A and B are shown apart, each in its own frame.
Chain A
Amino acid sequence: MRHSACRFQFLQLKCLIKMKRFDMKKLTFLIALLLIGTNVIMAQVPKGDVLIKNGTVITITDGTLENTDVLIQDGKISRIGTSLKNRNGVTEIDATGKFVMPGIIDAHSHIAGTSINEGTSQVTAEVQMGDVVNPLDISIYRALAGGVTSIHLLHGSANVIGGESETLKLRWGVTDPQDMMFEGAPRTIKFALGENPTRGGRSRGIQPQSRMGVEAMLRNSFKEAQIYKQKWDAYRADNSRRKVAPKYDRRMETLVDILEGEVLVHCHSYRADEIYMLLNVFSDFGIENLTFQHANEAYKVAPELAEFGAGASVFSDWWAYKLEVYYSTAYNAAILTNNGVTTSINSDSGELIRHLFHEAAKSQKYGGLSDEEALALITLNPAKQLGIDDRVGSIEEGKDADIALFEGHPLSSYAIPVMTFVDGVKYFDRENDAVDQRLSVDPEDTIEDVHIFDADEQHKCMQDAEITNLYDFLNK
């Protein structure tokens, strides 16, 4: 039992004793509270102590350090240096000849999500991906085996304003979805521009069916949220006894939080014009925290993005799967980086997430980024875009011990990830890797399904085919 949890229970007991009258109802209530407290204890995630010896440490923020040790205590990086003493007799890992880098962060993922799109409205700011986290998804283990330690589980792109997304740590083996969550990470929300929401509009005969409609819908939503807030502000300022509260609206609450900078916006987008449009809308409403997802044409408006301070989270080389990505270039990440835009490379795929280190290396082929710049695309930069760069994204003393070990330089296509740590706990070790890593097996499933990988299927996913199918289904 952890100290902080003990303290929590102690306070509860103190509270119990302090009660003046013991009636059964209150007692029941308090016991319930105590049980909730126990759940909080369960939610305390494991943290490890490890000494990684003699590796080549790619810090991202402070160069590459040869023959260097990294000491991890209670899930945090406590010291980086040479010949560190193992005072507490913690587990030692010999990283001689291996590369030690910060755990990879995927700013765009849908693994571990049991559903992705709430497509019943063009604005669904009231829903949360945090409610649909599946810690048993085998894709989590496969991602860990590619050196990934955190993902941004995003809502889909069927609607202009989608639901809130969830930042996760890949703690493979936990069964409580709560234990997957990146505690303390800022709230984020998904927006979507272009073909996906307009296709949805067309198939249902509603707005938006054009990029004009997308902008109108965004402005209307924020205006509505401002009015909502004005009403609540007026209500709160009103001292009269007979005041009546405005109707509570969860959707509007979230939009107000966006306006107030409490929720980071990650917007699915492709074309330069729609990216530029959103910059204007956000400028007008004074919203600052913005990252464009996919953003295949972000390179065309790189100076504008840099000026605004918006980020871009892009594919290494995916293109031509739909019209709005036909004028793409694999040099996107390099152009953006050279123009001063905070850029990350993401997967949006249960396959690609397993080799993001290789995807990052493509920015060296396409645009000649340095090793540090290329690796920042999958570590520090996505951490910045998710607002967690004070915790992860580089190897620095005080940061979370989310670390990946590689045989061979991670930017080499021959590199093999060999160990992955989250909070100092080893969740993947190639040496001790049992073949079948499933956490749950369906007892009714006598013959295991064979799923043949289909690259086209992935591309269709990105067009949110599932949601258009749903429309077709509903229309039939």
Chain B
Amino acid sequence: MYAGCRDHKSLRFFKQIIELIMKNFITLIVLIAFIPLATFAQQATGEIRQENSTKFAIINAKIYTVTNGIIENGTILINKGIIEAVGTDVDIPADAEVYDYNGGEVYPGMIDSGTQLGLQEIGSIDESQDFDEYGNITPQMDALTAVNPNSVAIPVTRVSGVTTTLTMPAGGLLPGTAATINLFGYTPDQMYAGSKGIIVNFPNSRRSWRQTQEQADRAREQALKDLNDVFDKAELYAEIEDADDTRYYPEMEALAGAIRGEVLMYIEVNSAKDILSALEWVENRGYENVVFTGVSEGWRVADKIAEAGIPVITGPVLSTPTRSSDAYDAAYKNPGVMQKAGVKVALRSGDTENSRNLPYNAAFAAAYGMGKEEALKAVTINAAEIMGVGDTIGSIEVGKKANFFVANGDPFVTKTQILNVFIDGYLVPMTSRQIELYEEFLDRKPGLQKYPITEN
């Protein structure tokens, strides 16, 4: 069976077919042979998700495993959401449903390592935003609980091949706990991809236009003091946490987990100077499981980051240089410079509703020094490994979750169409509100005239 893949040009295509039929009888005969194929390619919109078999195989696909090269004419066998076999010589059980992609390219689902997807619906409306809790030190605020599985932006994102995001709280020194989510599921728990981490907004030396340099420096020193105070306290708490069972201090519990290395510590840091202080801070405190995020000026101190062995989530790549004196392409080059220096790099869109642009951030990073192969890793396996879920997602390997998508070409190339997306082995409907609006309005009925039509 041909999977429910859909070409967005199909409506126009149909119109053209009908016009041709009217014009030419011979064409009609030729076309009859193609009609069944075109019908398969259609998946009616507004339709609920089609149930796919728990056991199925993808065949005749060009498989970009990411970790084990490219397999031409390959097969992937999936059972209950887990990849059971990958290769050219795979026995397909009789009871498995088969999707023949006829040369289509299969990639691991892309991972956007920094969004507010699910936590924000409309940018200007506070009531639709749940990523910024009151207070400066709120590490216990759990992003996962506020993820809206029915956010309109989720289908918009996943039909572009982004299957997983790190969704992050924001605001204040310690905004909360970020969660890695898969973009399919009806509850936050069904979406949870198995990784959490606290966010640390590392005190920065940036000066707002309202501030003098002195004021900015003072604010930074104060923030650094606050940060050290709270972590001193948390270290003590981590030691005595189990001393009795009457203790309840959620802020400290959240931090203790990070100090013990049970959850990740995402340190948001951007300017070169701040990156160096953050490196020193991490080293002095001896924390492990640390990830630097943002890292806009990483290219200035790439060797230092590499030396410390701290992985980096950077982006958006499509951003302006941090200083007026920088080369115009400094931000495009940044991921490549760090990667070449030996830093493990993942990319983020830094967006919410346009997390779908992750592949294009990767394309620009690739074109400006990183290369396609490394850029692909930066949105798949590197991201998964950095978040500590490299054993379950990020590549097409036996034993991993069936998170992958099928495309008619390189997904970093803008015009490439994504044909199908699978998340946890579920065939995701290739529709979103944006596609539905397209189908309704491409050739709107009624057009200019609506009954009763009056002659002017």
Interface set of A (CB-CB < 8 Å, partner B): 138-139, 141-142, 145, 195, 299-300, 302-304, 307, 317-323, 326-331, 334-335, 338, 350-352, 354-355, 358, 361-362, 364-368, 408, 411-416, 433, 435-438, 447-453, 455-456, 459-460, 463
Is B441 on the interface with A (CB-CB < 8 A)?
A: yes
* B123→A413 contact, CB < 8 A: no
Is B290 on the interface with A (CB-CB < 8 A)?
A: no
Chain B contacts for A299, CB-based, 8 A: 437-438, 441
Chain A contacts for B303, CB-based, 8 A: none
A449 touching B207 in the complex, CB below 8 Å, given contacts A331-B434, A331-B438 = yes
A413 CA to B366 CA in the complex, in Å? 10
* A450→B448 contact, CB < 8 A: no
6 A-B contacts (beta carbon < 8 Å)? A317-B356, A331-B442, A368-B7, A416-B368, A447-B213, A455-B319
Of B322, B415, B448, which contacts A307 at CB under 8 A? B448
What per-residue 1/0 map shows which CB atoms of B239-277 lie under 8 Å from chain A? 000000000000000000000000000000011000000
Among B38-46, B179-187, B357-365, which stretch is in contact with chain A?
B357-365
* B357→A317 contact, CB < 8 A: yes
Main secondary structure of the interface of B (DSSP, over half): loop
> Which partner residue on chain B sits nearest A451 by CB separation?
B322
* B296→A364 contact, CB < 8 A: no
How many residues on chain B are close to A (CB under 8 Å)? 65
Among B218-226, B325-333, B381-389, which stretch is in contact with chain A?
B325-333
* A320→B324 contact, CB < 8 A: no
Interface set of B (CB-CB < 8 Å, partner A): 7-9, 12, 121-125, 152-153, 205-207, 213, 270-271, 294, 296-297, 316, 318-329, 331, 350-354, 356-357, 359-360, 363-364, 366-368, 412-417, 433-435, 437-438, 441-444, 447-448
* B123→A322 contact, CB < 8 A: yes
Q: Closest CB of chain A to B415's CB: distance in Å?
A: 4
Main secondary structure of the interface of A (DSSP, over half): loop
Q: Closest CB of chain A to B105's CB: distance in Å?
A: 15
> Which partner residue on chain B sits nearest A359 by CB separation?
B414
* B316→A433 contact, CB < 8 A: no
Of B12, B322, B357, B366, which contacts A368 at CB under 8 A? B12
> Which partner residue on chain A sits nearest B330 by CB separation?
A435
* A355→B364 contact, CB < 8 A: yes
Chain B contacts for A463, CB-based, 8 A: 124
* B448→A145 contact, CB < 8 A: no
* A416→B323 contact, CB < 8 A: no
Chain B contacts for A456, CB-based, 8 A: 123
A321 touching B363 in the complex, CB below 8 Å, given contacts A412-B414, A437-B328, A450-B297 = no
**Beyond A326-B152, A331-B442, A451-B322, 17 extra complex contacts between A and B, CB < 8 Å:** A323-B122, A323-B125, A351-B319, A358-B414, A361-B414, A364-B415, A412-B414, A413-B363, A433-B327, A451-B320, A452-B294, A453-B319, A453-B322, A455-B350, A455-B351, A456-B123, A459-B123
A460 CA to B435 CA in the complex, in Å? 26
Chain B contacts for A453, CB-based, 8 A: 296, 316, 319-320, 322, 331
Of A303, A323, A351, A435, which contacts B447 at CB under 8 A? A303
